[in-house]
Structure 1
Amino acid sequence: MTMGDETPVTTLILPVLIRPILCELEKQDVSASQTLRSALTKAEASHPGLTYDLVVGILRKGDLTVDMNESILRLQGAVSDTDVEYRLSRSEDAFQELNRKSAALKRILSRIPDEITDRKPFLETIKEIASAIKKLLDAVNEVSAFIPGSTGKQSLEQRKREFVKYSKRFSNTLKEYFKEGHNTRQWRMVKN
């Protein structure tokens, strides 16, 4: 993956890995944190995947081996429910319910690295994931009633289709993982 590749991992580096670091920096130097946040956000918007490449470059330079997929999965589960950067700000119940369903799914997904090697608990986790995805999609459908105009609704539908596509790919990869047995190579594919 490199700059320009838009995969779930590349798009999550800035919000899940970098922004929490910048929040910590903000406690020591507000100006530096805000300057970095603004610069990285603009750079990522202009060149998707830039922050991913930056992090991978730092890891290589430090001669560190980190599974980015697993790390991002774990970090997403640790994001606070009150972190406003990850929440919809609309006050209507439908939007707040969507926030709750999204956070619940992220917490369940973050357990995958710890549970995938133990088949029975992991199968239960898969059921929880499927249920959480259904509830999240139901919440998205509720939110669509609040979106004015056809352009906004089309954009929401497009995002929903992308989410469903990635969910199906995830599900199919898990099926292959269990069909092949607990194979490390397959686990790496699950996380992609």
Structure 2
Amino acid sequence: MTDDVPAQSLMLPVLLRPVISDLEKTDVAAAQTLRAALVKVENVHPGFTHDLVLGLVKKADLSINMNEALLRLQGQVADTDSEYRLRRAEEPFQELNRRSSLLKKILSRIPDEITDRRAFLDTIKEIASAIKKLLDVVNEIAGYIPGSTGKQALEQRKRDFVRYSKKFSTTLKEYFREGQPSAVFASALYLIHQTNLMIVTIKNKCE
């Protein structure tokens, strides 16, 4: 796995959008202009915001585990990022909003709990349960997606999510053998990234 991939995708929604939202309270026009500019440049040059933030961190001569930082911050924005929330009112769609938000919040606790073996083992059980319940509701939503192409796209996203869930499990086993948390942080971000991709696919196919 390349650790930068989920960090690149999450830098804008997890780190920068909340800052822009705070700016919006005092200067709506400036916040909207900044948000539009960042979204535009990110679409044209994926990873720009990631490189920008890392450049600033390097310039300030700071030592930050960016995967850990993004994982911690994810818990604060899981309920508020509209890009990764479904608007349809039917219960399965709203349930997926709840399930995806809950999974992200549980994953965001990993940095605080990983050094407490008992607490971390309990968290791992919560993650496994959250993953199963999320997949259950995705299966239900598949019935709402029109056409075989849309269903196939969601099925592929679901397979990717399952694959990264298994990689996360493997990474946990390696952590308990070797005691290196960085790989766990990166793997957790991959799960969040795959969750977001699944939400976006559903939005594109049936909203």
2:74 aligned residue (65, 73, 76) = 76
CA–CA separation in structure 2 for the residues paired with 1:77 and 1:114: 12
1:168 aligns to what? 166
Moved more, 63-72 or 90-99: 63-72
2:27 aligned residue (26, 29, 32) = 29
CA–CA separation in structure 2 for the residues paired with 1:190 and 1:6: 14
Partner SS state of residue 88, structure 1: coil
CA distance change for structure 1 residues 54 and 190 in 2, over 3 Å: closer, same or farther?
same
User: How big is the shift at 1:80?
Assistant: 5.5
Instruction: Report the residue type matching 1:56 in the other structure.
Output: L
CA–CA separation in structure 2 for the residues paired with 1:155 and 1:18: 29
Tell me the matched-pair count: 186
Instruction: Report the residue type matching 1:101 in the other structure.
Output: R
Preserved CA contact (<8 Å) 2:111 2:185:
no
Instruction: Report the residue type matching 2:171 in the other structure.
Output: T
CA deviation string 1:20-62 (max 9, x = no partner)? 1111111111111111111111211222211111110111111
Preserved CA contact (<8 Å) 2:110 2:185:
no
Instruction: Report the residue type matching 1:49 in the other structure.
Output: G
CA–CA separation in structure 2 for the residues paired with 1:81 and 1:15: 12
Preserved CA contact (<8 Å) 1:81 1:103:
yes
CA–CA separation in structure 1 for the residues paired with 2:75 and 2:158: 21
Q: Within 5 Å, which residues of 2 pair with 1:16-95? A: 16-79=14-77, 81-95=79-93
Instruction: Report the residue type matching 1:191 in the other structure.
Output: F
2:107 aligns to what? 109
2:183 aligned residue (180, 186, 189) = 189
Preserved CA contact (<8 Å) 1:6 1:48:
no
CA distance change for structure 1 residues 42 and 51 in 2, over 3 Å: closer, same or farther?
same
CA–CA separation in structure 2 for the residues paired with 1:151 and 1:22: 36
CA–CA separation in structure 1 for the residues paired with 2:150 and 2:49: 28
CA deviation string 1:113-161 (max 9, x = no partner)? 1110111111111011011001111111111111111222222222222
CA distance change for structure 1 residues 20 and 48 in 2, over 3 Å: closer, same or farther?
same
CA–CA separation in structure 1 for the residues paired with 2:174 and 2:148: 39
CA–CA separation in structure 1 for the residues paired with 2:78 and 2:106: 14
CA distance change for structure 1 residues 118 and 6 in 2, over 3 Å: closer, same or farther?
closer
Moved more, 119-128 or 154-163: 154-163
1:120 aligned residue (110, 118, 129) = 118
2:138 aligned residue (137, 140, 154) = 140
Preserved CA contact (<8 Å) 2:93 2:141:
yes
Provide the aligned C-alpha RMSD in A.
1.9
